[in-house]
């Protein structure tokens, strides 16, 4: 094949035979008279043309990948990465590895293989460090980062792995559900590991911004294996308990109190072991706020419902971040407060429905006007002589959160009085993907999908991919 150099002379380039055949096939298709005359024929023609171009693309990728894998600098970096894994790792020479590309084709790549003596004796696999450096992961078959990104985002956006498998099959990418699961969960594991290693970087900062921080919890069913024999069908019995995944959200509002669309929000979630979920999500929240430079923000509003596990930790979070009292505003969601007013009058069993409605409406107006003390007096008044534990619980709710119910002053500062943003995030991240009839998750799998879904819905897909493709050497640097 020839092309002209800058002087106008013809220079001939050697092209591999396999690539020549594909190019000739494409040239023939471009020059021959097409036979289709209707939409169905055109659709078939498109498929055939793009299959040919995909095959040519696979050959080009194979050539370029092999050239990079054989370069001295990448081979040395691979040896360094293999030694960094610990143990006495030996170079076992070059082996041929099948790699699937982003359009579903398969190429063969020869690269160095490293393993320990004990792994060889026990039949365990070693590693291909050059592939790791290039973002190519897998086991018996390996997958390029372009394919992995496509599969993971499709799995995250859709309702199930099976839906993703069908869409991939339509695009000519043949993967089973088990492979899709492995790719998705491994991608999430690498992203979370990079995040915990401090690899996450933000190009947007909180300096001079009006920042809103919210935390809330959802509900999903978690699968835990039971001890004992398998069923007659060979299935392992399991518990399916309801658990509460915790979600955090950080976003920015403008001077009018509306969400600033130019600033990408931060959403993330965790499902931790029983008892430490609240501490885990606040630890993650602290990490994000520090990375965003929250101490330089103009205003920080913590908005949430009245759950004790949230507000018991907010003050400690504020102190640990070194925030001043003039910066921070704490707000209990107004609409949750109104719901609790309804719970107060439920305890007055002798009241009629119109009496309850009038009382709730009156206290609601008082809350909006900033007359919190009058609301507390009204609750104290109707709770006298009432021995109901529910009444005492609701009374404590309002007394404990009275300082967070200054809604008139909050609205004057153009700050939100409701936690609708985090409620919406719970619905989009948790309810529409992880919660449903007959859906049960292992804890590790639920955590993987929470991370992927949170970043996807926040619009931070590229940042997620960057985290997942970070190598151990980059983390160390």
How many domains does the chain contain in total?
4
- Longest CA–CA span in the chain (Å) reads 103
Provide the 10 A C-beta neighbour count for residue 131.
23
Q: Does any domain span residue 60?
A: yes
59 and 132 fall within a common domain: no
316 and 358 fall within a common domain: no
Provide the 10 A C-beta neighbour count for residue 95.
12
Q: Does any domain span residue 435?
A: no
Report the DSSP beta bridge partners of residue 330: 302
Q: Does any domain span residue 134?
A: yes
Cα 114 to Cα 129: distance, rounded to the nearest angstrom: 8
19 and 132 fall within a common domain: no
Q: Does any domain span residue 100?
A: yes
185 and 238 fall within a common domain: no
350 and 398 fall within a common domain: yes
What is the predicted pLDDT for the residue at 251?
97
Per-residue pLDDT for the chain (477 aa), expressed as one digit of tens each?
A: 555 556 656 555 677 777 888 888 888 888 888 888 899 889 888 888 888 899 999 999 999 999 999 999 998 888 888 887 666 778 888 999 999 999 999 999 999 998 877 665 555 677 899 999 999 999 889 999 999 999 999 999 999 999 999 999 998 899 999 999 999 999 999 999 999 888 888 989 999 999 999 999 999 999 888 877 777 777 777 888 899 999 999 999 999 999 999 999 999 999 987 668 899 999 999 999 999 999 999 999 999 998 999 999 999 999 999 999 889 999 999 999 999 999 999 988 889 999 999 999 999 999 999 999 999 999 999 988 777 889 999 999 999 999 999 999 999 999 999 999 999 999 999 999 999 888 999 999 999 999 999 999 999 999 999 999 987 655 444
312 and 220 fall within a common domain: yes
223 and 322 fall within a common domain: yes
Q: Where among 23, 42, 67 does a domain terminate?
A: 67
233 and 127 fall within a common domain: no
SS percent in the chain: helix, strand, coil, step 5:
50, 15, 30
Q: Does any domain span residue 424?
A: no
Q: Does any domain span residue 451?
A: no
Q: Does any domain span residue 460?
A: no
The pTM of the full predicted model, rounded to 2 decimals, is 0.89
Q: Where among 289, 308, 332 does a domain terminate?
A: 332
Domain that holds residue 42: 2-67
Q: Does any domain span residue 126?
A: yes
Residue appearing with tokens 């063969």: 108
């Amino acid at each position: 094949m020839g092309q002209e150099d800058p002087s106008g002379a013809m220079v001939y380039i050697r092209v591999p035979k396999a690539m020549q055949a594909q190019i000739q096939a494409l040239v023939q298709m471009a020059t021959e008279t097409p036979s289709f005359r209707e939409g169905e024929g055109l659709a078939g023609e498109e498929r055939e043309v793009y299959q040919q171009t995909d095959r040519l693309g696979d050959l080009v990728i194979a050539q370029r990948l092999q050239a990079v894998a054989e370069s001295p600098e990448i081979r040395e970096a691979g040896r360094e990465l293999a030694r960094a894994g610990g143990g006495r790792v030996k170079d076992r020479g070059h082996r041929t590895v099948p790699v699937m590309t982003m359009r579903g084709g398969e190429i063969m790549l020869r690269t160095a293989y490293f393993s320990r003596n004990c792994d060889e004796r026990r039949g365990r696999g070693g590693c291909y460090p050059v592939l790791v450096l290039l973002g190519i992961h897998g086991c018996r078959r390996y997958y390029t980062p372009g394919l992995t990104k496509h599969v993971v985002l499709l799995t995250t956006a859709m309702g199930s792995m099976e839906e993703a498998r069908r869409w991939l099959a339509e695009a000519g990418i043949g993967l089973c559900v088990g492979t899709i699961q492995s790719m998705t969960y491994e991608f999430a594991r690498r992203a979370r590991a990079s995040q915990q290693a401090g690899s996450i970087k933000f190009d947007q900062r909180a300096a001079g911004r009006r920042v809103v921080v919210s935390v809330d919890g959802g509900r999903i069913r978690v699968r835990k294996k039971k001890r004992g024999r398998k069923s007659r069908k060979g299935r392992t019995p399991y518990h399916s308990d309801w658990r509460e995944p915790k979600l955090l959200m950080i976003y920015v509002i403008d001077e009018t109190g509306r969400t600033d669309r130019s600033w990408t929000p931060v959403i993330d979630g965790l499902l931790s072991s029983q008892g430490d979920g609240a501490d885990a999500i606040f630890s993650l929240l602290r990490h994000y706020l520090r990375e965003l430079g929250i101490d330089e923000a103009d205003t920080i509003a913590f908005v949430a419902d009245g759950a004790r596990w949230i507000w018991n930790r907010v003050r400690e979070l504020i102190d640990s971040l070194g925030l001043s009292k003039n910066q921070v505003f704490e707000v209990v969601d107004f609409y949750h407060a109104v719901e609790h007013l309804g719970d107060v009058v439920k305890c007055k069993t002798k009241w009629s429905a119109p009496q309850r409605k009038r009382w709730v409406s009156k206290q609601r107006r008082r809350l909006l006007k900033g007359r919190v003390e009058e609301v507390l007096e009204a609750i104290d008044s109707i709770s006298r002589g009432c021995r109901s534990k529910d009444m005492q619980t609701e009374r404590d709710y309002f007394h404990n959160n009275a300082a967070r119910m200054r809604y008139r002053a909050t609205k004057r500062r153009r700050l939100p009085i409701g936690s609708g943003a985090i409620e919406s995030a719970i619905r989009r991240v948790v309810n529409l993907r992880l919660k449903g009839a007959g859906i049960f998750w292992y804890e590790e799998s639920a955590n993987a999908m929470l991370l992927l879904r949170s970043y996807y819905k926040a619009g931070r897909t590229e940042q997620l991919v960057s985290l997942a493709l970070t190598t151990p050497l980059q983390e160390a640097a």
